[in-house]
Structure 1
């Protein structure tokens, strides 16, 4: 992933406000990069631009070898199918079990709901400590368990890139560390690239790189041992 001279605004006319300023950034394939900074600094805005969830207004964003500025809707839709999104709100379907929610992560990439999809869902849920919750509805899961189901749904289709917004906020220390370690293993084994927004200082020592945003600008860029 790469950005060059990326700027972004919200609003129009006198209410127009700039959210990002000249963001130049390259994120290595297979790495786990963490975005930190105060609320309102532009972290989520940057994440959504990289994830084809907002239109690039000014500058360049390259994702998986494709330029997003001016890209056709069909192209951005195809790229989104290669991404895994983890949001702080779990957005689970209340009428579906944990396993069925995760199977949706396979379906969105054009695959059918079949035995291999169920097996893949069970495998990822097991990695996240939910083997005994496959057939539970969200109403019968704790907040942390719901978040782990949402994380499994994002990972089950083997995405090329994972974009995560506060994925460990609802998790205890051990569960959060397990999630980040899983993302790092995916980076090493499959080349999965992860960009994570977080305020969770407990996981910073696991990052390969920490970027700090303030007032829409990158003010810190620290490589870590991970």
Structure 2
């Protein structure tokens, strides 16, 4: 089990101003699968994603991530766990002064210089898989919005993370690019036994999920597997 969540609750603010964002969430997520998390704006999707991704501290409940309990985890533990994760956000967050290839290599910095040298061919390979082989040395200002997002996806995947958390990763992509990116995420899950959790409303890619979990007002309300396509 990559992720095991029990009775997870989370809120923002203090006292009478406190707003509850998550209510008694129970969820198990398995390695080797692409799980899609759906729900309206404000349903708690991003809050859940940031808690599982060690970007926020767990307040109440149990979250076991790759066997590590996150409740009461100290900062050093959260940093160590984040090094095993890949993150893809709707905002690409590329460095304007670095080329596409250099931006992808930033994904290896947390693993040290030896890892960066070892994985040097992987940078170009991933960008090639995402249709950017001719733009390795382009700056972000020379790329379209969809191309920037594909660079961000490559940066998240280059270090072979154990888990990938993706928040609306295909929002800026056209249909073909979106399908290409999600097929890559799904192949990564299956071939490397990686866990992929993706928040999306994108109807173009939902059917590619192994599992679809839906949230409403901070609660899980549906958990299903799409019917196998012929």
State the TM bucket, normalised to the shorter chain.
over 0.9
Gaps of 5+ in 1: none
Q: CA deviation at 1:111?
A: 3.3
Matched, 1:139 2:126: no
Distance 2:181 2:148 in 1: 13
Q: CA deviation at 1:112?
A: 4.7
Q: Which residue of 1 aligns with 2:105?
A: 103
Distance 1:44 1:10 in 2: 13
Q: Which residue of 1 aligns with 2:10?
A: 8
Helix, strand or coil: the match of 1:206? coil
Q: Which residue of 2 aligns with 1:67?
A: 69
Q: What TM-score do the two structures reach when normalised by structure 1?
A: 0.97
Q: CA deviation at 1:92?
A: 0.3
**Contact 1:99/1:118 (<8 A) preserved:** no
**Contact 2:50/2:56 (<8 A) preserved:** yes
**Contact 1:88/1:167 (<8 A) preserved:** yes
The counterpart of 2:57, out of the listed 42, 48, 55, is 55
Q: CA RMSD of the aligned region, Å?
A: 1.2
**Contact 2:43/2:216 (<8 A) preserved:** yes
Gaps of 5+ in 2: none
Distance 2:116 2:62 in 1: 40
Q: Which residue of 1 aligns with 2:79?
A: 77
For each residue in 1:157-216, what CA deviation from the matched residue of structure 2 results, as whole angstroms up to 9, or x when unmatched? Answer: 000000000000000011111111111111111011000000101111100000000000
Q: Which residue of 2 aligns with 1:33?
A: 35
Q: Which residue of 2 aligns with 1:195?
A: 197
Distance 1:111 1:206 in 2: 36
Helix, strand or coil: the match of 2:207? helix
